[in-house]
């Protein structure tokens, strides 16, 4: 099957890199895998008749949207990564190890999305942890080592909780003896409700750890802020989506079994708690990469809230997933430009960005405009539809709380971004910074331009086939 190429290619590439050890092959294989990933996901996107359901892997209406989003983000990151890694002053061996882990990381995320078995999904989620841990540790500073250990420790606890949830689910299934998603959905109405509800708690908290939901988000700010910017973009715009996909599949099983109200309450609590945590920390943040990490927590909260609301809310969550992935990847890659120019992650030490580098400055501002859902950002549509869904269901308290927390986040993000973009800067300092700007090439601007352009175009017009795919993905879960 064609899908096997997405899972086998990175392994073969790693073997080839190990045997030949040529630096120029690092970027070649990353870009080649990104192009292959995009071509194959695009093929399945446009050829519905060729999608398939295998015993362990499948591509259908439920996961093709997630696969396409991963492809688009990875393609942009791959081209940005080419120049970014050339600017990293590390030896060839470390760059090769970085390439190994980047390829395996994307392979594992792809596996999570196309997996047709909850047990296999669990294994592949753990594989994403092991692969991305090195990416977080890459700079080998005290903070990066601490972040990597915290990431492995907390996510391992989450994976352990998810494993307990799977065991409890097998008890709930009785004599079914299968973790295939199709089998679980087909027989869900016969499951024991007590064990199923208990299983959902463990799975939500366990996989929710990887998704970055409060109160199990503690690894995320450190990991995203310490990883190289291309890895941060993948962590935020791709890894969190993969975990969200698994939660949606489990949630669908619980809904089919007749325990929807119980599951929705749990998800709403975690969703609004995530928004609250993001609002509190973003308001007082002094590290722009950590700021973006907390923004990811906020947006994962929005996704889980929309899913719990259901109906229009679930459609809005899928639209929001697309927009967040495109814009947040752009945001993190642009933060890499700022770090390269200023050499600091402190918000207070960055000012006059538009004066120093207009391209990076405007990308920074437009990323903020997009992520805070100003029109024509696609996130304006998703958040508007989510508010509409709350009104339709007469959930007025949730609606007010939702808008209040989003407003606080908007203020915190806008204040930080605008303070960094504007302001006076001494001529001597400006001359020194401009020398750093000269190191940046078009490949460190163009990926963000393309992602933001796509996010804003979709905010004005969503093509009919994409709209149909979003709706089909909801029914296919």
Instruction: Kindly state the average pLDDT of the residues 94-99.
Output: 93
pLDDT tens per residue, range 232-274? 999 999 999 999 999 999 999 999 999 999 999 999 999 999 9
- Mean pLDDT score of the chain: 93
- The set of residues, in sequence order, having a beta carbon less than 8 Å from that of 110 and lying 6+ positions away, is 6, 7, 37, 67, 70
CB of 191 within 8 A of CB of 172? Answer: yes
Instruction: Kindly state the average pLDDT of the residues 165-186.
Output: 93
424 φ, ψ (degrees, to nearest 5): -80, 150
- Higher-confidence position of 219 and 429: 219
Q: How far out from the chain centre does Cα 149 lie?
A: 20
User: What CA–CA distance (Å, rounded) separates 107 from 28?
Assistant: 16
pLDDT of residue 102: 97
User: What CA–CA distance (Å, rounded) separates 72 from 447?
Assistant: 10
Query: 3-state secondary structure string, the chain?
Result: CCHHHHHHHHHHHHHHHHHHCCHHHHHHHHHHHHHHHHHHHHHHHHCHHHCEECCCEEECCCCHHHHHHHHHHHHHHHHHHHHHHHHCCCCHHHHHHHHHHHHHHHHHHHHHHHECEHHHHHHHHHHHHHHHHHHHHCCCCHHHHHHHHHHHHHHHHHHHHHHHHHHHHHHHHCCCCCCEHHHHHHCHHHCCHHHHHHHHHHHHHHHHHHHCCCCCCCHHHHHHHHCCHHHHHHHHHHHHHHHHHHHHHHHHHHHHCCCHHHHHHHHHHHHHHHHHHHHHHHHCCCEHHHHHHHHHHHHHHHHHHHHHHCCHHHHHHHHHHHHHHHHHHHHHHHHHHHHHHHCCCEHHHCCCHHHHCHHHHHHHHHHHHHHCCCCCCHHHHHHHHHHHHHHHCCCHHHHHHHHHHHHHHHHHHHHHHHHHHCCCCCHHHHHHHHHHHCCCCHHHCHHHHHHHHHHHHHHHCCCHHHHHHHHHHHHHC
CA distances 216 to 181, 219, 277, 406, Å, are 25, 8, 11, 20
pLDDT of residue 48: 82
53 φ, ψ (degrees, to nearest 5): -125, 105
**Does 93 have pLDDT greater than 80?**
yes
pLDDT of residue 445: 97
Angle at 327 between CA 133 and CA 299, to 5 degrees: 70
pLDDT of residue 477: 61
User: What CA–CA distance (Å, rounded) separates 313 from 373?
Assistant: 16
Instruction: Kindly state the average pLDDT of the residues 354-358.
Output: 94
pLDDT tens per residue, range 132-143? 999 999 988 899
**Which residues make beta-bridge pairs with 57?**
115
Which of 55-64, 87-96, 406-415 ranks highest by mean pLDDT?
A: 406-415
Q: Give the whole-number percent of the chain exceeding pLDDT 90.
A: 83
Q: Which of 243, 239, 179, 172 has the alpha carbon at shortest distance from 206?
A: 243
pLDDT of residue 221: 93
pLDDT tens per residue, range 23-51? 889 999 999 999 999 999 999 988 887 77
**Does 475 have pLDDT greater than 80?**
no
Assign residue 174 a region (left: φ > 0; alpha: ψ between -120 and 50; beta: otherwise).
left
Instruction: Kindly state the average pLDDT of the residues 170-189.
Output: 92
> Among 55-59, 278-282, 322-326, which stretch is predicted with the lowest mean pLDDT?
55-59
The sign of the dihedral angle between the CA atoms of 292, 233, 43, 129 is: negative
Instruction: Kindly state the average pLDDT of the residues 180-196.
Output: 94
pLDDT of residue 458: 97
Instruction: Kindly state the average pLDDT of the residues 404-429.
Output: 92
Indicate whether this model's pTM tops 0.75.
yes
pLDDT tens per residue, range 116-130? 999 999 999 999 999
Q: Give the whole-number percent of the chain exceeding pLDDT 70.
A: 99
CB of 352 within 8 A of CB of 423? Answer: yes
pLDDT of residue 83: 92
**390 burial level (CB within 10 Å; 0-12, 13-18, 19+):** buried
CA dihedral 154, 159, 162, 168 (to 10 degrees): -120
Q: How many CA atoms lie within 13 A of 116 on its CB side?
A: 16
Using pLDDT thresholds of 50, 70 and 90, give the confidence band for residue 350: very high
pLDDT of residue 318: 96
**Does 476 have pLDDT greater than 70?**
no
pLDDT of residue 1: 63
pLDDT of residue 428: 79
pLDDT of residue 22: 85
User: What CA–CA distance (Å, rounded) separates 72 from 227?
Assistant: 20
User: What CA–CA distance (Å, rounded) separates 162 from 201?
Assistant: 9
């Amino acid at each position: 099957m064609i899908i096997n190429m997405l899972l086998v290619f990175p392994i073969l590439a790693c073997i080839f890199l190990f045997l030949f050890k040529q630096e120029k092959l690092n970027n070649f294989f990353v870009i080649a895998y990104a192009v292959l990933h995009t071509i194959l996901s695009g093929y399945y996107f446009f050829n519905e008749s060729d999608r398939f359901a295998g015993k362990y892997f499948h591509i259908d209406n439920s996961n093709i949207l997630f696969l396409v989003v991963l492809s688009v983000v990875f393609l942009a990151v791959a081209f940005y990564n080419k120049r970014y890694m050339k600017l990293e002053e590390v030896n060839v061996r470390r760059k090769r190890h970085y390439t190994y882990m980047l390829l395996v990381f994307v392979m594992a995320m792809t596996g999570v999305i196309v997996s047709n078995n909850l047990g296999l999904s669990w294994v592949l989620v753990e594989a994403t942890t092991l692969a991305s841990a090195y990416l977080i540790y890459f700079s080998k500073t005290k903070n990066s080592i601490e972040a990597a250990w915290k990431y492995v420790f907390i996510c391992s606890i989450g994976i352990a909780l998810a494993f307990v949830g799977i065991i409890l689910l097998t008890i709930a299934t009785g004599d079914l003896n299968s973790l295939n998603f199709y089998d679980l959905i087909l027989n869900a109405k016969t499951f024991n409700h007590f064990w199923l509800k208990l299983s959902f708690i463990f799975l939500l908290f366990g996989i929710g750890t990887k998704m970055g939901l409060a109160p199990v988000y503690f690894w995320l700010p450190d990991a995203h802020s310490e990883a190289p910017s291309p890895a941060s973009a993948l962590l935020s715009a791709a890894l969190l989506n993969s975990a969200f996909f698994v939660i949606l599949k489990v949630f669908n099983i619980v809904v089919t079994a007749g325990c929807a109200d119980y599951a929705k309450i749990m998800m709403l609590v975690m969703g609004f708690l995530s928004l609250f945590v993001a609002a509190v920390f973003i308001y007082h943040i002094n590290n722009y990469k950590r700021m973006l990490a907390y923004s990811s927590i906020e947006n994962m909260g929005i996704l889980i809230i929309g899913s719990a609301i259901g109906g229009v809310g679930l459609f809005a969550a899928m639209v929001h997933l697309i927009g967040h992935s495109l814009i947040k990847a752009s945001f993190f890659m642009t933060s890499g430009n700022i770090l390269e120019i200023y050499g600091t992650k402190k918000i207070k030490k960055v000012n006059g960005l538009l004066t120093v580098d207009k391209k990076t400055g405007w990308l920074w501002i437009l990323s903020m405009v997009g992520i805070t859902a100003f029109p024509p950002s696609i996130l304006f549509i998703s958040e508007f539809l989510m508010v509409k869904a709350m009104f339709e269901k007469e959930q007025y308290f949730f609606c007010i709380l939702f808008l209040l927390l989003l407003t606080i986040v908007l203020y915190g993000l806008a204040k930080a971004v605008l303070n960094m973009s504007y302001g006076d800067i001494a001529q001597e300092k400006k001359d020194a910074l401009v020398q750093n700007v000269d190191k940046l090439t078009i490949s460190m601007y163009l990926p963000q331009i393309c992602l933001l352009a796509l996010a804003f175009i979709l905010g004005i017009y969503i093509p009919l086939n994409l709209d149909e795919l979003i709706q089909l993905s909801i029914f296919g879960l």
